[in-house]
Structure 1
Amino acid sequence: MRGSSLATRLFLSATAWLVVILAITGFVLSSVYRDATERAFDRRLNLYLRTLIAEVATPDEPADHQFQLGEPLFELPLSGWYWQILRTDVEKGETRASRSLWDKKLPKLEDQGFELTAAGIRLGYVDGPEGQTLRMVERPVDLGSDGRFLVSVAGDASEIFDETRSFDYYLGGTFTALGIVLLLTTVFQVRFGLAPLKRISEAIADIRSGRAERLEGRFPVEIAPLARETNALIDANREIVERARTHVGNLAHAVKTPLSVIVNEASTHVADPFAAKVLEQAEVMRDQVAHHLERARIAARVTIVATVTEVAPALEALRRTMEKIHRDRDIIIELKADPSAKFRGERQDLEEMAGNLVDNACKWAASQVSIEVMVEPPAEPGAGPRLHIIVDDDGRGLSAAERAQVSRRGQRLDESKPGSGLGLSIVTDLAGLYGGSLSLRNAPIGGLRAELELPGV
């Protein structure tokens, strides 16, 4: 049952228990009813048995006297209802029997291993003359000088079986209807009983996607503590991130100020080789500090509950800006963006990553830069969509070795182009912090293609 939902597991568990309980209850009720039917049948047999014993014990009874038990079935040949009186104190004793027995004889329960009960009778099931199953009772009677007798009465046991079978049919139908009602009730209880948990799950998904900031609404008293603690955890997370941002800002100020002093002092002694070396290394330190502080800032921000950024408006604003920056080169920048594309992150980070890629493409393009935004559906259940931002230029492009080189921080292929060599490295780092990636390859229009993959919504 791995991977199944809580509602499914609860329903299957409740169904299994319900089936077991109904089966046990049905078996017990069927057994009780069978015993009750059997006892009622035995009382009937015992009534006929006592009547026969009373007739046998009557003194001066004529030999041809026909016992009357008030049951017509004893007169109907092979009807399944029989009585028999066998004298046992003499060899080949006289046998008297009901007309229904015809010329057959009833078996002796004593010969079949049945023991006398406390009431002095034997009771059990035997095979009848016509293959019927009979319920039979017999009792030895000692009349002293009048002789000893074995009095037997048997009835067709199909009455017991038919009655029990009929009860089982009704019981099965009743329990089936009851089981269906109980299962529907269980489904109702599971569905509506777990509804607050589903609401919390959907609310947390909204928070994670940036559509909400807290769990809102009223919850049952059993679920309210969970919602309250979740909101407290979100608040605590925000406070931690805000403190981290404050510390990053303080560190940036504390480090940049001494570096600025060192750069200024070294700049006044440019002719001194030592000052020139200090100035060179100070610039490297400044770039390194800026780079790592930016990574720390982004790392702190992406740990907080995500925000959502509309991609098309952000890239349209970026396109207009880049056209103005590179206006003197008449670069044409085309944008094709899926209107539904959304980035699971902050707008300034999207602008920084896309801006580096578009700016780099504009620097190397001959006349054209193309920006395309696509949304890829989730690859598996539970995963979110993926956002693809593809930037192509019609420049000279890069070889595989050059593409590997420019991905490293601070590496530049042409010093004549402005920049620090940190652009693609920053894009790679930011994309990685968001769970995305940057890949470089040849563009269909002849230059370089940079494809940025990011989490979407």
Structure 2
Amino acid sequence: MNSLRARLLAAAALLVAAFGSLAGLVLERAFQGGLQQAQQDKLQTLVYSLLGAASINADGDLTIALDAVPDPRLRQPLSGLEAALFNESGQVIWSSADFLQLSTAEIPEVGEWSFHRLREPNAFALSFGVRWIDLAKDPRRYTIVVLEDAAAYDRQVAVFRRTLWIWLGAMLGGLLLALLLLLRWGLAPLRRLGRELHDIEAGRQVQIQGSYPDELVPLARDLNAMIVSERNQQTRYRNALADLAHTLKTPLAVLRGLADETTLRAEQRGQLHEQIDRMQKIIDHQLGRAAAAGTRTLTEPVALRPLVDKLLAAIGKVYADKSIRPENAVADSMRLRIDQGDLYELLGNLLENAAKYGKERIRVSALTGQKQCLIIVEDDGSGFPPGAEQLLLRGVRADTHTPGQGLGLAAAAEIVQAYSGRLLLDRSGLGGAKVVVALPLR
């Protein structure tokens, strides 16, 4: 989950869902508790009315006249309301129309109440302990039990639960939508900053220009400062090399003049011209390096295949006598975030070496992984000798018979190192040399 908005939204959704579930459970428990308390109060009132209608029968036991009880359901069969009177032995001595026999009866202490929910039958039961003292001063222990069917209670709870979760779900959904809009609004400056950075990479603007919240102002300011500093550093680097080249022009011109002196032998003039040309090539090479931008933080992606096509076409013209058969196996969609000048010089050096030391075939391919891109240049020449890593050092050559300064692989290695990459030398499947350039994806 790399998106900041997705992370915040997921965290907010989890928090809202947890809070909503907890709030729903609390409200449901509170409603059930209030409903059960009302049920207990109603049954207690009925118990008091039953005690008010109680009297002693001819056997000296307590009985209740149903005609004196205000709730008519006790006189109706299957009404859902039932009552019974137990003696101290737990035997029923009086009951309403169709009192259900209980497997175990709650027998509370005298003056104590016992209220609970029965599963079989599905009813609420309220028990009250009584000690009845008649005129004969013969106190007796009784327990009065009232049962009321819980179906109506269950229906009320079901309706409340359904209504509660529908409305609570709708409210939580609305809250999540509001949070999404709030996150979108709150993260809009970051998206705008990302678009500006993309425009800088694409070359459509030179620095961050938008107005941002106080928290992002230091970031935008530092990014602009980094961009300006990087460009100034590149300018100073180019100017320094240009000044060096300009400074060396006069000494080189003097040396060329001396080389043309007739007093020198032809052999000496030839050697002097050769060394002067060598210095000129080195200067031109460094000026070319200065013209390239070098590694930059914000660069536009470069299409790799068209650039390889151009270089292979140029190599084919230079080495037309070899009848080189180039093969470009780079995908059209392959792009690298690297300066185009650096990429030209990197691949140009590698392809020139492949053409110079190969026979007929040159193959260029590229692969991408999760963290790096591999550019592979192969030829069908004699390949690298043992200890080929030394070729990456400036001035070291594998073939001293072929003209060159030994700067190609060393220059390529410098460019790759500037981009925090690696340059590997191996044996090609074509039979010759294989150079693998591993560049980190940015």
State TM-score, norm by structure 2.
0.71
CA distance in 2, matches of 1:297, 1:341: 25
Q: 1:358 aligns with which of 347, 351, 354?
A: 351
Q: Which amino acid aligns with 2:230?
A: V
Q: Which amino acid aligns with 1:241?
A: E
**Structure 2 CA distance for partners of 1:173 and 1:294, relative to 1, 3 Å:** farther
**Structure 2 CA distance for partners of 1:289 and 1:152, relative to 1, 3 Å:** same
Corresponding residue number in structure 1 for 2:364: 372
What SS is found at the alignment partner of 1:453?
Answer: strand
Corresponding residue number in structure 2 for 1:399: 385
Preserved contact between residue 307 and residue 345 of structure 1 (Cα < 8 Å): yes
TM-aligned CA deviation for residue 125 of structure 1? 4.2
What SS is found at the alignment partner of 1:392?
Answer: strand
Corresponding residue number in structure 1 for 2:157: 168
TM-aligned CA deviation for residue 351 of structure 1? 0.7
CA distance in 1, matches of 2:86, 2:347: 111
Corresponding residue number in structure 1 for 2:68: 69
TM-aligned CA deviation for residue 250 of structure 1? 3.5
Q: Which amino acid aligns with 1:346?
A: D
CA distance in 2, matches of 1:369, 1:307: 32
What SS is found at the alignment partner of 1:5?
Answer: helix
CA distance in 1, matches of 2:117, 2:281: 109
Answering whether residue 113 of structure 2 is matched by residue 123 of structure 1, we say: yes
Answering whether residue 100 of structure 2 is matched by residue 113 of structure 1, we say: no
User: What are the Cα deviations for residues 184-225 of structure 1, in whole angstroms up to 9, with x where unaligned?
Assistant: 335534544434648469748846974876999999xxx855
CA distance in 2, matches of 1:247, 1:205: 24
CA distance in 1, matches of 2:204, 2:136: 106
Corresponding residue number in structure 2 for 1:92: none
Q: Which amino acid aligns with 1:442?
A: R
Q: 1:28 aligns with which of 9, 23, 30?
A: 30
What SS is found at the alignment partner of 2:298?
Answer: coil
What SS is found at the alignment partner of 2:40?
Answer: helix
Structure 2, gaps ≥5 residues long: 57-61, 265-270
CA distance in 1, matches of 2:124, 2:163: 29
Preserved contact between residue 407 and residue 424 of structure 1 (Cα < 8 Å): yes
Q: 1:344 aligns with which of 337, 342, 360?
A: 337
What SS is found at the alignment partner of 1:302?
Answer: coil
CA distance in 2, matches of 1:64, 1:252: 120
CA distance in 1, matches of 2:17, 2:233: 52
User: What are the Cα deviations for residues 286-311 of structure 1, in whole angstroms up to 9, with x where unaligned?
Assistant: 969976x988987x742331211122
**Structure 2 CA distance for partners of 1:348 and 1:32, relative to 1, 3 Å:** same
What SS is found at the alignment partner of 2:398?
Answer: coil
**Structure 2 CA distance for partners of 1:371 and 1:306, relative to 1, 3 Å:** same
CA distance in 2, matches of 1:435, 1:190: 42
Q: Which amino acid aligns with 1:349?
A: D
CA distance in 1, matches of 2:74, 2:45: 17
Corresponding residue number in structure 1 for 2:317: 324
CA distance in 1, matches of 2:206, 2:8: 24
Q: Which amino acid aligns with 1:169?
A: A
State TM-score, norm by structure 1.
0.69
- Tell me which moved more, 250-259 or 197-206: 197-206
Corresponding residue number in structure 2 for 1:39: 41
What SS is found at the alignment partner of 1:27?
Answer: helix
**Structure 2 CA distance for partners of 1:11 and 1:324, relative to 1, 3 Å:** same
Corresponding residue number in structure 2 for 1:410: 395
**Structure 2 CA distance for partners of 1:124 and 1:307, relative to 1, 3 Å:** same
Alignment of 1:95-106 (within 5 A): 97=94
Q: Which amino acid aligns with 1:135?
A: L
Q: Which amino acid aligns with 2:317?
A: K
Corresponding residue number in structure 2 for 1:7: 9
CA distance in 1, matches of 2:46, 2:93: 21
Corresponding residue number in structure 2 for 1:424: 409
Q: 2:239 aligns with which of 225, 250, 255?
A: 250
User: What are the Cα deviations for residues 113-158 of structure 1, in whole angstroms up to 9, with x where unaligned?
Assistant: 35x4xxxxx4324999x998741345667788999787864311x4
Preserved contact between residue 142 and residue 149 of structure 1 (Cα < 8 Å): yes
Corresponding residue number in structure 2 for 1:154: 145
CA distance in 2, matches of 1:68, 1:397: 117
Preserved contact between residue 427 and residue 434 of structure 2 (Cα < 8 Å): yes
Preserved contact between residue 291 and residue 341 of structure 2 (Cα < 8 Å): no
- Matched length: 412
Corresponding residue number in structure 1 for 2:303: 310
What SS is found at the alignment partner of 2:53?
Answer: helix
What SS is found at the alignment partner of 2:336?
Answer: strand
TM-aligned CA deviation for residue 355 of structure 1? 0.4
Preserved contact between residue 423 and residue 438 of structure 2 (Cα < 8 Å): yes
Alignment of 1:133-282 (within 5 A): 134-137=125-128, 153-156=144-147, 158-159=148-149, 161-195=150-184, 197=187, 199=191, 203=195, 206=198, 210=202, 231-257=220-246
CA distance in 2, matches of 1:339, 1:65: 99
TM-aligned CA deviation for residue 357 of structure 1? 0.7
TM-aligned CA deviation for residue 431 of structure 1? 1.9
TM-aligned CA deviation for residue 20 of structure 1? 1.8
What SS is found at the alignment partner of 2:68?
Answer: coil
TM-aligned CA deviation for residue 239 of structure 1? 0.7
CA distance in 1, matches of 2:63, 2:300: 110
